């Protein structure tokens, strides 16, 4: 005797009944990029369908997202003025704090996650205060101002904070700062295993965060290291993170699965700009069945162990699911 696997494949209803993995609109967090001004909605050439938007346009976008069933966003700020320490991100009247307050006032049901980092706010494009001698980021000095940034986000009304700078000790630093300021119930979604990846290229355009010198390999993960990647997330779990993340997603699904099996926390993946742009370009040239490949990609994230998907495809996925 041999197993006839096709018995459960021949009928479409039965295929649905035995399907092990499903993609739902509630799995997604949609990234939004806010800058000052009015009436600004500038499409990013390297990321078709992704925009830099002024706050009035962001509020309109939130209305559209709700119609699609998307209630979770992750917010990135693009200030008018940048300096060596990213002062705008530390100011309660800065672009990110102002945006949080406005979104929560106009759309209180939206779940607002904030990217906590300095690369969008610094004139050098790195993720913290510069260690000029070693041409890298000064880890401990950056931790000090990261706690300040977290409190700015929390006071403005953020629903969850997501530190992305890959500073050692960032989770315990933020947890202590938030707890000390009375925000002990505010969750932290850690970019716990973030690789120094070539897949981030188009993001530099939308966030205007290209480093002015060097790269981020001295503080982000080496893509070649599997055991270290797992250890990074285990450490953040121990420090008090509420959700772990692997970024990028597509080339690191083995890491997603291993972290999922090694930890007890919910797992997020960031389906990054380069992954998005590749599918967009392939679809534009009719090299793939675009919608089918998008959904297959999302399924791969869920199958690998992701509970949450941060993706620029989220609106498209919602429309595909609504039209099924």
Residue 232 annotated in ligand binding:
yes
Separation of CA 63 from chain center? 21
Q: CA-CA distance, 158 to 120, in Å (whole number)?
A: 18
247 is an active site residue: yes
Residue 216 annotated in ligand binding:
yes
CB atoms inside a 10 Å sphere around CB 284: 10
Dig out the tokens for 277 from the structure: 């742009």
Task: Give yes or no for a contact between 123 and 83, defined as CB atoms under 8 angstroms apart.
Answer: yes
DSSP state of 198: G
Q: Which of the residues 82, 194, 280, 315 is marked catalytic?
A: 194
Residue 127 annotated in ligand binding:
yes
Residue 273 annotated in ligand binding:
yes
Separation of CA 324 from chain center? 27
Residue 4 annotated in ligand binding:
no
The strand pair at 130-131 and 136-137 is best described as antiparallel
Q: Which of the residues 82, 247, 260, 315 is marked catalytic?
A: 247
Report the SS3 class of residue 18.
helix
- Burial class of residue 222 in the structure, from the number of CB atoms within 10 Å of its CB (0-12 exposed, 13-18 middle, 19+ buried): exposed
Sequence-separated (6 or more) residues with CB below 8 Å from residue 151 = 177, 178, 181, 183
Which residues are known binding-site members for Zn(2+)?
117, 119, 127
User: Hey, which residues are catalytic here?
Assistant: 194, 247
Which residues does the annotation place in the binding site for 5-aminolevulinate?
A: 204, 216, 273, 312
């Amino acid at each position: 005797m041999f197993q006839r696997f096709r018995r459960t494949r021949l009928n479409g209803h039965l295929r649905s009944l035995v399907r092990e993995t499903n993609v739902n609109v509630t799995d997604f967090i949609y990234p939004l990029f806010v800058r000052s001004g009015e009436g600004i909605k500038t499409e990013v050439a390297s990321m078709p369908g992704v925009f830099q938007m002024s706050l009035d346009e962001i509020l309109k976008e939130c209305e559209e997202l709700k119609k699609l069933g998307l209630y979770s966003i992750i917010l990135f700020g693009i200030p008018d003025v940048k300096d060596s320490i990213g002062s705008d991100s530390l100011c309660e009247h800065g672009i990110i704090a102002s945006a949080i307050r406005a979104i929560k006032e106009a759309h209180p049901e939206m779940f607002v996650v904030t990217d906590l980092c300095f690369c969008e706010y610094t004139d050098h494009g790195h993720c913290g205060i510069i260690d000029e001698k070693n041409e890298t980021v000064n880890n401990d000095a950056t931790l000090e101002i990261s706690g300040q940034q977290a409190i700015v986000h929390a006071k403005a009304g953020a629903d969850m904070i997501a530190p992305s700078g890959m500073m050692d000790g960032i989770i315990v630093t933020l947890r202590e700062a938030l707890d000390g300021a009375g925000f002990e119930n505010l969750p932290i979604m850690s970019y716990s295993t973030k690789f120094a990846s070539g897949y981030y290229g188009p993001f530099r355009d939308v966030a205007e965060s290209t480093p002015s010198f060097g790269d981020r390999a001295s503080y982000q993960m080496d893509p070649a290291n599997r055991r270290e990647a797992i250890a990074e997330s285990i450490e953040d779990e121990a420090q008090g993170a509420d959700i772990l993340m692997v970024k990028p997603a597509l080339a690191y699904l083995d890491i997603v699965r291993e972290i999922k099996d090694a930890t007890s926390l919910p797992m997020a993946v960031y389906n990054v700009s380069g992954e998005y742009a590749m599918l967009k370009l392939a679809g534009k040239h009719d090299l793939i069945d675009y919608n089918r490949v998008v959904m297959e990609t999302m399924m791969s994230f869920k199958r690998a162990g992701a509970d949450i998907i941060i993706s620029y495809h989220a609106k498209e996925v919602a429309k595909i699911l609504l039209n099924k």
